Structure 1
Amino acid sequence: MSTLPRTGIGTDIHAWAAEGEDRPLWLGCVEFPGERGVAGHSDGDVAAHAACNALLSAAGLGDLGSVFGTDRPEMAGASGADMLRHVAGMLDEAGLVIGNVAVQLVARRPKIGPRRAEMEAAMSAALGGVPVSVGAATTDGLGFVGRSEGLVGLATALVAPRG
């Protein structure tokens, strides 16, 4: 393996859960009480899932589906924090250290700014103290996000060989 750092990009997209369905909303390993959750096999945390995809991409270790596939019943309801911890362990076993993770959420709701620091701290803790930054954007009413049909998580990650 090269001694140079490697970057990865990841994405995750979920539709909002059906109106009236009792699903909590998890973003960045933080619950948003009172907000409608998303449809999904796990907790649907698009921020954590995008970060996992970015880390796996940077490490060349597959993607979210290959590691946590929906065909695995034990993953039903799995938390984004547990998934991040698992991926961090995979990278450690592969001899890689994580430099940082940056996550961008694209959604009309909820407001991210008031809870940004909490999300960054929760994701960082799940990754063993790695720096995590979280940003947010809307689509000015365009596309499925603009129509309030779902939300998107995008992430980048930097990893490097240990030593």
Structure 2
Amino acid sequence: MGAAHHTPSIAILVVAGGRGARAGDGPPKQYRPIAGLTLLARTLHGLHMAMPQAALKVVIHKDDLEHYAASIAELPASDRARLLPPAFGGASRQESVRNGLEALAAEGAPDIVLIHDAARPFVDAALVARAIEAAAIHGAAAPGVPLADTIKQIDDAGVVVATPDRARLCAVQTPQSFRFDLVMAAHRAAAAGGRDYTDDAMIAEAAGVKVHIFEGDAANFKLTTQQDFARAMEQLKQPVFADLPDIRMGQGYDVHAFGPGDAVWLGGVAVPHTHGLAGHSDADVLSHAVTDAILGAIAEGDIGAHFPPSDPQWKGAASSIFLARACELVRARGGAIANVDATIICEAPKIGPHRERIREKLAETMGVEIGRVAIKATTTERLGFTGRGEGMAALAIATVRLP
């Protein structure tokens, strides 16, 4: 590992080459959306948040390049900056991992590599930190969780032949973590021997390496069946605020000038007026302020960084797209939006008659109950550009809670 002051380089290899048939009809499961983000994007974002300095490499099926491109397009720029080019998988998981490791070796081998299933989106920073520490100390390690059920070993006729001591057994998860040179050599030896193994820890064991088990995480479950996807949706939809102690606040401010039109868009609602608002998208001044407040709370830049006005695809776009994406980024980190408080500043139109509809629409777009959305309106007593009726402004504060 070098001198004591050397910080080990870390790569995370994400295995996403499978077909995921047990998840039902549709694209491979790693490209299916859960609460607005594909499973792969959610997993990659979780890994990046857990270990921002790690390089990320995904092993994909050669037929899935379009799916992969669409999936990583959902990620913030900071996540994409850590992504190495994808590697192509093989006929088995073992071959796919080896292809990924060989690609990492060719690009400049890291000191430590974590190998993780794309179908485990709830990986967190504490688990990744334990994985890295275990690899640094032991060379080869895997997360394990205690078994809740008694295990029976049975024969071909279904007759119990043994009841292993449950205290000596555990269910193994990913990320499994290794010193890179060690796992690369073990994979090459397994390939040369023509043996097929079910996980990377077994490959290391077969090469004579002692694999250490560190504490796993029951929440880091693998999505295999449609029931698993339903469980993941529930886990994302209903955060327990007691489990989200990191309280963040962000502010947003936006201004748009009046232009031609007969309605202004506010929070996704068209409010009739003598003018519209001018802007590259739908110029929804309220949605823009709320989006920036949420992005600010999680330190993910601003609306322009994610949806540049220079990009023609956002011309005339509904700002609810921008707001929904900001909320997805919060949920991708396992967080929740506690509340949003916004003020619209204008002389006209009158906001009062439309306030409840605007609150409903914002709550719907953000995926929160209406009691978490407050909207107020004020004038500037005819002072300044809003007072002269030249445009509208909006201020917003968002409170976000993270694990």
Match of 1:143 in 2: 384
Indicate the structure (1 or 2) with the bigger Cα radius of gyration.
2
Counterparts of residues 125-144 of structure 1 (less than 5 Å): 125-130=364-369, 131-144=372-385
Quick check: 88-97 or 110-119, which moved more? 88-97
Query: Is 1:9 the equivalent of 2:248?
Result: no
CA distance in 2, matches of 1:33, 1:5: 37
Q: Which amino acid aligns with 1:38?
A: L
Query: Is 1:77 the equivalent of 2:316?
Result: yes
Match of 1:153 in 2: 394
CA distance in 1, matches of 2:354, 2:271: 9
Counterparts of residues 66-145 of structure 1 (less than 5 Å): 66-130=305-369, 131-145=372-386
| Alpha-carbon displacement from aligned partner over 1:38-84 (angstroms, at most 9, x marks no partner) | 11000011111100000000011110111111011111111122221
The alignment partner of 2:376 has SS state of strand
How high is the sequence identity, in percent, across the aligned residues? 36
Structure in which a larger fraction of residues adopt helix:
2
Q: Which amino acid aligns with 1:120?
A: R
The alignment partner of 2:246 has SS state of coil
> Aligned-pair distance for 1:115?
0.8
CA distance in 1, matches of 2:376, 2:319: 17
- Is contact 1:23–1:38 with CA below 8 Å preserved after alignment? no
| Alpha-carbon displacement from aligned partner over 1:92-121 (angstroms, at most 9, x marks no partner) | 113321111111000011101111010000
Specify which of 6, 23, 27 is matched with residue 266 of structure 2.
27
Counterparts of residues 46-57 of structure 1 (less than 5 Å): 46-57=285-296
Aligned CA RMSD, in angstroms, stands at: 1.7
Quick check: 150-159 or 73-82, which moved more? 73-82
Question: When the two structures are superposed, what TM-score results if normalisation uses the length of structure 2?
Answer: 0.38
Match of 2:301 in 1: 62
- Is contact 2:262–2:273 with CA below 8 Å preserved after alignment? no
- Is contact 1:10–1:155 with CA below 8 Å preserved after alignment? yes
| Alpha-carbon displacement from aligned partner over 1:107-144 (angstroms, at most 9, x marks no partner) | 01110111101000000000012421100000001111
> Aligned-pair distance for 1:23?
6.5
CA distance in 2, matches of 1:63, 1:46: 14
* C-alpha spacing 1:132/1:35, structure 2 compared with 1 (3 Å): farther
The alignment partner of 1:5 has SS state of strand
Q: Which amino acid aligns with 1:132?
A: V
CA distance in 2, matches of 1:103, 1:143: 20
* C-alpha spacing 1:133/1:4, structure 2 compared with 1 (3 Å): same
Q: Which amino acid aligns with 1:14?
A: H
> Aligned-pair distance for 1:34?
4.3
| Alpha-carbon displacement from aligned partner over 1:12-40 (angstroms, at most 9, x marks no partner) | 100111xxx34641012100134411110
CA distance in 2, matches of 1:34, 1:143: 20
CA distance in 1, matches of 2:340, 2:398: 4
Match of 2:116 in 1: none
- Is contact 1:101–1:132 with CA below 8 Å preserved after alignment? yes
Q: Which amino acid aligns with 1:64?
A: I
CA distance in 2, matches of 1:83, 1:136: 22
Q: Which amino acid aligns with 1:49?
A: H
Q: Which runs of 5+ in 1 are unaligned?
A: none
Structure 1 stretches of 4+ with a deviation exceeding 3 A read none
